[in-house]
Structure formats: structure tokens, C-alpha cells
A and B are shown apart, each in its own frame.
Chain A
């Protein structure tokens, strides 16, 4: 399993080592139930979300139906950065489940709240339109291609979740972010199926 180095200057990422293309093709599936199980095992008090078509049926719908962890629907993604940051002062963890477009829209809040104030934040970002056989920075879609370079510029570590073999990265990433008061991004690189 990839170790996340939360130091500001050098952070390792999972994107460049997601397994070979043939391995990914062989695996080829990301089960929402497995992702949700990892979320539930991570001690989260809330899921904060603006809907994302990519993760809608595989993650958000079952999370909303179970309300475990409780789901708080946002009007806009950067609200979630304020809410999650404030919850962290109360020793409560949250997951911000959004589309990559909402990530782009939230960069100032990320910089001004999470990074400048050294607060924990876990983002699960759906890469709508991404080809799961490629690394995000090689995506055919510009908005997706820009995600990891922006994360690099912000010095925020990330893991690309291409299939079920990467689900094991989720819980340690969440626990690491809260243990070290840093941000982490979990990039959902394949449309999850449910269960």
C-alpha cells in the first residue's frame, strides 16, 4: 500500500502507480459498497456533498438512502470546506463528496481555510468523463487533466481510486489527514457500481 507523506514539500501520490493498464482492465470494476464500507470504517460523522453524476448511483444514492454517515446536502462545494473545518474543531470527521468541477471552484477556500489554517480535509472527487484506463493527468477531459497538477501546486496528496484494489487506500488516507491536520484527495477514477 502506498504511504502518504503529509509533509508539505514532498508528497507521494498514488496516481502514477495505479497498476498496469492490463491489471486495471482485468480488475475493471469499482464497487460502491466497498467504498462506502471504507468510509464507514473511518469514523466519519458526516458526508457533505453536491451531487456528481459520476458517483451518483454508486455512492451518493446508497449513502443518502442509508444516511450512514449522515448526509448533508450542500448548495455549493466550498461550503463543505467551511463546514468540515469547523467540525474538525469539534473532533468530528467529514468527507466532502464532490465532482472535479466543484474542486476547481473551491481552490480559494482550500488555500485560505484548509492550508493556511492547517486543518484536516478529506475530499472524494469524482472524475466525470475520465477514462479509467489512464492516469488522471492523461485524461481526455481537460477539467480532469487539471486536477492533479492543481493538487500538486497546492501540495495536497492524493490517491487515484481506479478499482476495488485501491479501496484499501481510503481508510488510511482519512485517518492520516485527521492525524496530521492536512488535506487529502481521493480521486474516483472509475464510475462506481452498486453494490
Chain B
């Protein structure tokens, strides 16, 4: 009987995500002047879909096949997750009045998916993840108060980059190796990833510098400092983060200067640097070889990626059904490879839906950047949006073998305390820009020189 229900639930999950995305379109259509339905209705349907998905999934997960009874622990945890989701919906609405509701629902959908998948893979991880999510949510809710206390945080540009370097160097010296990358710090038994924390600082730093006129001096200083950050990350074998930081820098520079030539030049330089890195670092070569032909070395180098491809392709469009697949055969499935696990059990159609949710988040983030009235906040918003979107792209691309695999987390979904915390805070920042920035004063900066023209306050 349960097997039949699981079989049916595959269609249900595809319906959930499809209908969820459709409601997003309804909302956006209204905003653009079209009418497909009430936007308020759309958001409330989205919220209900998240709760429904949560309940459906936990009803399946809680059933113990061997004993034939419901596992109360899972039921309780499912209930706790449900309360968390409801609380998040409630409080986010309160604390970020008139923030973009689609960003909240999209984010919560992904977080719910994270709880479901982690409960499926390893209940212990799901508990911890929920704890981190609660912390992240609390931090997010406090963010507006924090920014109100320090109204002009853009003046601390040097502090940001110094802390950035401090953390990176600490990792280089005291770092612990995990999954082949030395990018973990351990303080009193608590391990965290500085590369996640500095994302925040890095964006702040760049936005703070770029808010002013971007002259050659700023360009060179930020260029050198960013290249330094990227280099340090490469040395820590954290190629994914290096790539994300590089792309974020390039995009923010491009936004600040509107200079295509510089952007293309940077891309060219990066290709050159990548070629050099390929020659110098054996771990880069290993990754590329595993990407080019993972089948040649299935037992070692290609093992992860090959297993991920098996997970994605074996069961087809609708997946095996929740609990029926074998996601645990993929190493580090709980963090880097969680997308493969989602594709395996929910199906690739659902997986494509997850990608569409990221597109939706990207669109909303860009919308905020475009609507923001101050240059500084615009750059901040685009920095945050680009970073998260690009991170999602390189890890999903790596998992499906579109690009070489670089171990980073899938924002909101992968297991990882620091990752969840930082991703949530970044979303908070984005929404803060959306809600609060208009209350702040007018910028004083002159237009950048590298760009054709520019300005501080526009429109």
C-alpha cells in the first residue's frame, strides 16, 4: 500500500513544484501589468504548497517499513519543521514588511526540501540543519535592527577586507582538511567554513568601494585584493569558492563601471589563470580529468560524479519515489551532491523545477537591484544575487557533469551550518535593501570614470 502511495506521491511532488512556480508567474505577471490571478492569493497558495509538501514528505518518511508503524521521532521532527516553516512565514512578513514575498517562499521551499532530503539521508543531520536554520532565521530577523544601529556601514570598507584576509590566513595556517579541501576552521570543537563567512564581508567590501567613483586606483586595489582572496582559496584547494569570488568580483566591477571591455578582459585573464592553475596544481588536473571522462577512472577520481549520474538517470523523469532510491551510494550526498539525491528520489522534472526556483530567486534579486534608488544598495543586491545564483549554477553544473566539479554547497539545500547561516543572512540583506534602503539619505559620490557615465542617485 505504501509503495502505491509513494508511487502516487511522485506525481504529487511534481504538481507541488509546478504549481508553486506557476503561482510565482501569476505574481510576476500582476507586477508587470498582466493578470493571471490575484498576487496575494498566489503567495498564500505558495505558502500552503510548502506546508503540504512538508506534510506529504514526512508522512512517507515517518513510516517504518520493517515494523509497519509510524516512527514518532520523525513525526515529532516533522512537526517541529512545520512549526519552523509557519513561524518563518509569520515573522518574515512582520520584520520585513513589504519585502519581496517570492524570495521568502522560494527560499523556504528550498529549505523545506533540505529538511526532507536530510531526514531521508540521515536524521541526525536534519536535526542539526533545523537548528542552524532557526539560528539563521533569528539572525535574519535581527539584521534590520543591526543595520539601524550602524547606519553607515559602508565606511568600514577596510575593516571588511582585513577581516576577510585574517580569516583566510587563519584557515591557511590552522585549517582542517575535509573532502579534499583545507577550508575548515575548528574552534573549541565547533567547525565552520571561513570561506562562507567571508562571502558576506567580501560583498560588503566591494560594494563599499564601488559605491564611489571607480578610478584606476580603486580598480587596481580591489583587483589585487580580490585576486589575493581567490589565490588563497585556490591554495586551500577550495576551487568552487575561488570561482564564486572571482565571478562576484567581475560582476560587481562590471555593474559599477558598465565597462564590457573590462569584463571580457577579466574573463580572458581568468581563462589564462585557469590554464596556469591546471598546469601547476595536480588537484585541478584531477578534477578536470574526472570531468572529461569519469568513466575511465570509476573506482577513484570519477567515483563521485559517476554515482551522481547513476542517481540522476537510473529512475527517469519522475524518480524512484521518496525513500525508494539509493542516494547514500553517492559520497558527500548530504552537502555537495544533494541535488543528485533530489533528482534521484523526486525525479529530474522536480530537479528542473528546483533550478527554476533558483531562476525565480535570481529574477527577484535583480528586480531589487534595479529598483533600488541608491547605487551602493544596488551593488550590494546584485553582489548577493550573483553570488548565490552562481554558486547554485556551479554546484548543480558539477553534479550533472556540465562543468568540472568544484565542491561548494547548494544554497539553502545542502547540509552545512555555515552555509545555511550565511545564505540566510545574504537573503536577509537582499530583502533589507528592498525594504529599508529607501529610507536612507542620498549618496554623495560622483560618477565613475571607467564607465561611460554614471551617478549616485538615479531617477
- The judgment on whether A and B are partners is no
Chain B residues in the interface with A (C-beta under 8 A): none
Name A residues whose Cβ lies closer than 8 Å to a Cβ of B: none
